[in-house]
């Protein structure tokens, strides 16, 4: 089994509440993520637009000034379909949860939530990222092996054809 090198894990935390943003940032750092923050939806969308592949995870509040969490979610998914977006809100409803998931959110947490709940979600995301990376590595390995086998098979076929041509030439000279 090849050793799998995980890609850089960077999270963007988007919340207009400074204390919530700092708490989430510190928690995500403790989970092994590099962290960037945004205080409103427009700042988050600008950060996403600057480097669409920068963030592996985006944790965004639903109600934000400038642009709401759904706009951040759409911008993130348009820029990088493989990004994991976690929606958090103090105004949870079934409708907003269903909408979030339909629009591509990985998960949805209602505030206040226990950090243990966030840890479970982040662990699932990290495990999934590791599996996706392992799949990419194995696909490359299989591709290389298939290419080598094809080249070897081509060489063997050519050698067989040359031998057959030689045998046919010998048979024609005898006959």
Supply the pLDDT for residue 7: 55
Read off the pLDDT of residues 119-164 as tens digits, 9 standing for 90 and up: 999 999 999 998 888 888 887 777 666 666 666 667 777 777 788 7
CA separation (Å) from 2 to 5, 137, 169? 9, 8, 49
| Closest C-alpha among 18, 25, 78, 16 to residue 48 | 78
* CA–CA dist 138, 115 (Å, integer): 34
Residue pLDDT, tens place only, 64-97: 999 999 999 999 999 999 999 999 999 999 999 9
Percentage of the chain lying above the pLDDT 70 cut: 88
pTM comes to 0.76
- 56 touches 8 (CB < 8 A): yes
């Amino acid at each position: 089994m090849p050793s799998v090198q995980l890609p850089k894990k960077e999270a963007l935390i988007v919340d207009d509440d400074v204390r919530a943003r700092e708490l989430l940032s510190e928690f995500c750092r403790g989970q092994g993520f590099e962290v960037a923050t945004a205080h409103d939806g427009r700042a988050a969308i600008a950060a996403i637009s600057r480097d669409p592949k920068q963030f592996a995870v985006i944790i965004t509040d639903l109600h934000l000034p400038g642009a709401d969490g759904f706009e951040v979610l759409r911008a993130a998914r348009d820029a990088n379909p493989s990004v994991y977006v976690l929606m958090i809100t103090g105004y949870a409803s079934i409708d907003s949860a269903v909408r979030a998931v339909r629009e591509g959110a990985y998960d949805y947490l209602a505030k206040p939530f226990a950090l243990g709940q966030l840890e479970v979600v982040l662990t699932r995301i990290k495990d999934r990222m590791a599996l996706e990376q392992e799949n990419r590595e194995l696909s490359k390995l299989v591709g290389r092996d298939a290419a080598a086998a094809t080249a070897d098979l081509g060489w063997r076929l050519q050698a067989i054809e040359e031998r057959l041509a030689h045998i046919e030439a010998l048979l024609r000279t005898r006959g």
